[in-house]
Amino acid sequence: MRWNGLFEVLRGFRLGLFAYKMMGEEHTYGSNCLPGLDVESLELLNQKLAGLELCFPLTKIKDNWVAEFVDSEGNHIEMTAPV
């Protein structure tokens, strides 16, 4: 496990903190940490989101496309792709 103050990496899975103050970013969306998955393109993100229950619609936030879906156990999972 590696920790750099913002991200924890455990067996290749990255979990980021909601640390907008630490990063000097404006707070626009969200209020907590979510498990998140990154994909390489908007096209792939749309493919992965197809048929899933979205709890946060696909939205452009700064340099990323962001969406959240609900998994089979009711957890919210974030997916992002670069703009």
Select the more confidently predicted residue: 57 or 3: 57
pTM: 0.70
Residue 61 reports pLDDT greater than 70: yes
Q: What percent of the chain has pLDDT over 70?
A: 65
How far apart are the two ends of the chain, measured CA to CA in Å? 30
Residue 3 reports pLDDT greater than 80: no
**Amino acid identity at 32:** N
Q: Where in the chain is the domain with CATH 3.10.180.10?
A: 34-83
CATH class, 34-83 region: alpha beta
Highest-confidence range of 1-5, 14-18, 19-23, 46-50, by mean pLDDT?
Answer: 46-50
Contact 80, 36 (CB under 8 A): yes
